[in-house]
Amino acid sequence: MDRIPLVHSSLGEKELAAVAEVFSSGWPAGQGPRGKALETQLAERYGVGDAVALSNCGAALHLAMLALGVKPGDEVIVADYTFPAPAHAVRYVDAVPVFADVRADTGTVDPQAVADLIGPRTVGVIAVDTVGLPADYAELNSIADRHGLFVVEDAACAVGATYQGRQAGALAPVACLSFHGRKGATSGEGGALITADPALAADARLRSSFGIGSIFDQAQTVGLPIPVFTDIGYNYKLSDIAAAILQVQLERVEELLERRSAVAARYAELLADEELLTVPHVPQDRTHAWQSYVVTLDRAVDRGEVATALRAQGIGSGHGTWATHLQPVYRSKQRCPVSADLFRRNLAVPMHAELTMSQVERVVEVLRTALRTSASGRAA
């Protein structure tokens, strides 16, 4: 049986060659020459003042909260329907995540929900480009400006996406990227903080290396520089091995996105008349990075049964993402009914740049059968 995985990284000979170059250089650790080159590449790609290469997007979100001066007891409004990393980052600094519900059609944070949650302790907003689709940044930035709040764009899933002609990752004053294995550009793990504010970038870069800056830079100095620890820092550096891989991957983003977009278009075509699910909605003013292809199942369908049927045929599937406010660590009296509904009904099917059209057709065939079997079983 031809197995069709839910996700698959597009890594090849060019990436291997880049890694070999790092091995030859003698500096595989973080904040070396390849890391610096990657930061320059990212800053140029996103047209911003600076970029800080980091070990993952969670680290970027944490450092953003610190650099933005979020204090214990402050409230930060976070998009509810997402991997919980934004809420985690708020908790890391002993602040309070306040969960905002999302749009039913896109799954991105609802600007009106954000506006309704602003209170005297609110200091900022973390918006999320949900599974690769940018949020409504014109409205979000306007709301933030009126109330004197910061906006952080969690663009973890959205490398290659656009909003009103601008790249996801450059849609708010601070953005955080992920280069996890299922993303549009990957080094297995990795992340970056993108910002136009050089002071904020300098703060994040220093904290990412235990608070003492680049050991590589110090090694180039004649004499014996002794680092001085002036603040608590973290080991959030990205290795030069990963940076070298990402330099290649960033050059391939458009190629890989074109292939993902073709897969998404074929799914949409084949499922257009399917009454037991809804395909993803992409507003006309933005484009999708297609980190995931998530359909919303009809309430007449048992999602668990459908996923089981797919996996029995060697086809990967997943639940989509999380309604964060329902997770035990965050359970609160807040209600985000749209997010909760999407959490119950969304289903991710295989999406990556290595999928063939015949595989897409097979996924749809098995999916259709599973939908009908489940719906008829529940109706009986």
Cα separation, 79 vs 83, whole angstroms: 10
Reported as a single tens digit per residue, the pLDDT across 327-373 is 999 987 899 999 999 999 999 999 999 999 999 999 999 999 999 99
Banded model confidence at residue 220, pLDDT cuts 50, 70, 90: confident
Report yes or no: 105 and 136 within 8 Å, Cβ to Cβ: no
Structure tokens at 332: 């609160």
Residues 6 or more apart in contact with residue 19 via CB below 8 angstroms: 241, 244, 245
Spatial separation of the C-alpha atoms in residues 252 and 247, rounded to whole Å: 9
List beta partners, residue 142.
none
Report the C-alpha gap between 170 and 152 in whole angstroms.
Answer: 10
Q: Is 22 helix (H, G, I), strand (E, B) or coil?
A: helix
What's the pLDDT score for residue 223? 77
**CATH 3.90.1150.10 spans which residues of the chain?**
254-379
Q: Which residue has the tokens 């660590």?
A: 329
Name 30's bridge partners: 239
377 vs 366: CA distance, rounded Å: 16
* Whether 254 contacts 160, CB under 8 Å: yes
**Measured between alpha carbons, how far is 107 from 100 in angstroms, rounded to an integer?**
11
SS3 of residue 347 by DSSP: strand
Least confident among 18-32, 209-223, 228-242, 264-278: 209-223
Q: What is the pLDDT of residues 78-115, one digit of tens each?
A: 999 999 999 999 999 999 999 999 999 999 999 999 99
Read off the pLDDT of residues 257-272 as tens digits, 9 standing for 90 and up: 999 999 999 999 999 9
pTM for this structure? Answer: 0.96
Q: Calculate what percentage of the chain has a pLDDT beyond 70.
A: 99
For 45-74, write each residue's pLDDT tens digit. 999 989 999 999 999 999 999 999 999 999
Per-chain mean pLDDT for the chain? 96
Per-residue model confidence (pLDDT) at position 336: 98
CB 41 within 8 A of CB 247: yes
Residue 380 pLDDT level (bands cut at 50, 70, 90):
low
When pLDDT is cut at 50, 70 and 90, the band that residue 148 belongs to is: very high
Q: What average pLDDT score do residues 140-160 get? A: 98
Which bin fits 190, alpha (ψ -120 to 50), beta or left (φ > 0)? Answer: left
Residue 255: its H or E element: helix 253-271
In order, the DSSP letters of 138-178 are HHHHHHHHHHT-EEEEE-TT-TT-EETTEETTSSSSEEEEE
Query: Rounded to an integer, what is the distance from CA 242 to the centroid of its chain?
Result: 18
Provide mean pLDDT across the span 130-148. Answer: 98
Q: CA torsion 211→237→200→46, rounded to 10°?
A: 170
pLDDT 10s digits, 155-180? 999 999 999 999 999 999 999 999 99
Q: What is the pLDDT of residue 249?
A: 98
H helix and E strand count, the chain: 13, 13
| From-to residues of CATH 3.40.640.10 in the chain | 13-251
Residue 379 has pLDDT above 70, yes or no: no
Active-site residue set = 183
What span, in angstroms and rounded, lies between the C-alpha atoms of 364 and 174?
A: 39
Number of residues in the chain: 380
Round to whole Å and give the CA distance between 264 and 266.
Answer: 5
277-278 and 166-167: which strand pairing? unpaired
Question: Is the pLDDT reported for residue 378 higher than 80?
Answer: no
Q: Pick from 284, 277, 263, 295: which is nearest to 362 by CA?
A: 263
Task: With a cut of 60, say whether residue 315 has pLDDT above it.
Answer: yes
Which class for 76: exposed (0-12), middle (13-18), buried (19 or more C-beta within 10 A)?
A: buried
CA distances from 137 to 79, 173, 321, 340 (A): 13, 11, 21, 23
pLDDT of residue 1: 64
Q: Which two tokens stand for residue 160?
A: 């290659």
Decide which of 3.90.1150.10, 3.90.230.10, 3.40.50.300, 1.10.287.70 is the CATH code for 254-379. 3.90.1150.10
CATH code assigned to 13-251: 3.40.640.10
Query: In the chain, what percentage of residues exceed pLDDT 90?
Result: 91
Q: Give dist(CA 133, CA 139) in Å, integer.
A: 16
